Amino acid sequence: MSSLTRWAGLVGVALRRTATKATRTAPRQTAVSVLGVAIAVALMLVVTATGLGLVQGTTVRGDAVDYWVVPEGGGASTMVVSASSAQLGDVHDKSAALVDDDRVEYASPVLISVLEVSSGGQSQYVLGVGVIPDQSLGKVAGLPTGALSPGDPYYADGNYDGEWTGEAVLSERAAEVLGVSEGGSLTVAGATSGDGSREIGVTAVESADVESGLSGVPVMIAHLSELQAITGASSADSADQILVQSNAAGLESALEDEFPGATAVTRSGFTAQQSVDSELPLAMGLAALLVAISVGALFVATTQGLQVEADSEQLATLAAIGISGRARATLLAVQALALTLVGGALGVVLAYAATLVTNWAAVRALAPVPIANFHPALVAYGLAVAALIGLLVAPYLLVMERRTDAITEVIR
């Protein structure tokens, strides 16, 4: 018999012993081991998913944007929306002045607001993003703007009485919650200081890029002036930031001179700030990992250690009939790994469900967007942590097994 066949046989025996304990001889101890690992892994994954959501909730931007002009003190904030945040004023004229600079290829103000949108008698909240569409702009908030008419027709040189296009691009999530499709119509509730409710037509429904961090968020992109009119921002021609596309270096001073009281952030500066902002989620994830490993290992070590003690006669009998210590150790290690992997798989399922509940509660009570992002990589992460717990517990179980070496005493 080859060594590979022998080891495969040992693994098969260990898995059958595990199944027998789970269904017949020790169901309670097995259930406690599995649930201990499952709960620990689930809590770890929920905390990690929340950290990922915080890290990926980045400033709305275009693919080709090289500078962001934001109100001073806002920096390169990773929050998509901040209540009562400072805004930039007179953005249409100042953006046009930027475009006149030969070093600037394109510039667009961006207004971000949570909107109450009605369709078919039901009302939902979506994240409204107002831009001045242009082919150079690329994607904003993970969505293409090509389905919107170029420019900002309703602005009409500052009078806000030009052609009302009523165009909007919806994310797939927004179309789903509103129950509309391309060609449908919506009613957007206006602010008290705005022009009242407006009818909006859906010109396209697009899938948001995962990299934007908004793939699961209901997003609506519209023309800047039309969103300003709806929200009341037209009175000061205000927006939250300016996106600037340029290949020229050292434009920060020129951009800040054009917008007094604002800060210009480069792509690299934004990335650096984002790294700083990710330290807290990273610390949360690390703490959750340590807690999960500690709690899971304690559960499995306690329950399976007692089980090894109860199985001392069986282990002694195996030793008496010539089963080597290495083979017996393999049986115990495989059993521990099998239990922790089953617990890890259950923990992944629980974490996914808990993430959905967390986002549902957060959207309705705390934030306008989901706060947790359950990335598919978390499945592998949860199973890897579960396997690590099994490997950490295995040496303890082997120490317990050595206590059965006194074969004659145990059998007697």
User: 169, 179 in Cβ contact below 8 A?
Assistant: no
Length of the chain: 412
| Confidence category of residue 316, pLDDT binned at 50, 70, 90 | low
Least confident range from 94-108, 186-200, 295-309: namely 186-200
- Smallest Cα–Cα separation from 221: which of 160, 167, 162? 167
Query: What integer pLDDT is reported at residue 73 of this predicted model?
Result: 54
pLDDT digits (tens, 9 = 90+) for 195-224: 557 888 999 998 877 655 566 778 899 999
Higher pLDDT, 100 or 398: 100
For the residues 117-143, what does the mean pLDDT come to? 83
Residues 6 or more apart whose Cβ sits within 8 Å of residue 107: 95, 98, 99, 242, 243, 244, 245
Query: What integer pLDDT is reported at residue 197 of this predicted model?
Result: 72
pLDDT digits (tens, 9 = 90+) for 324-342: 667 776 777 888 888 889 9
Q: Say whether pLDDT at 194 is over 50.
A: no
Query: What integer pLDDT is reported at residue 74 of this predicted model?
Result: 47
Query: How many angstroms separate the CA atoms of 128 and 56, rounded?
Result: 18
- Based on the number of CB atoms within 10 Å of its own CB, is 390 exposed (0-12), middle (13-18) or buried (19 or more)? buried
Query: How many angstroms separate the CA atoms of 19 and 293, rounded?
Result: 24
Residue ranges of domains in the chain: 7-56+279-411, 89-239
The per-residue pLDDT of the chain, averaged, comes to 77
Residues 6 or more apart whose Cβ sits within 8 Å of residue 208: 141, 142, 143, 171, 172, 173, 214, 215, 217, 219
Q: Say whether pLDDT at 367 is over 60.
A: no
Number of helices and strands in the chain (H, E): 12, 11
For the residues 314-332, what does the mean pLDDT come to? 66
Least confident range from 58-62, 174-178, 307-311: namely 58-62
Q: Say whether pLDDT at 59 is over 50.
A: no
- Smallest Cα–Cα separation from 386: which of 33, 41, 11, 22? 41
Q: Say whether pLDDT at 384 is over 90.
A: yes
Pairing status of strand 198-206 against strand 167-171: parallel
Query: How many angstroms separate the CA atoms of 239 and 109, rounded?
Result: 6
For the residues 163-173, what does the mean pLDDT come to? 90
| Confidence category of residue 365, pLDDT binned at 50, 70, 90 | low
CA–CA distances in Å: residue 391 to residues 304, 334, 338, 340 = 13, 9, 11, 9
User: 314, 407 in Cβ contact below 8 A?
Assistant: no
pLDDT digits (tens, 9 = 90+) for 7-55: 676 677 667 777 777 777 778 878 888 888 899 999 999 988 887 776 5
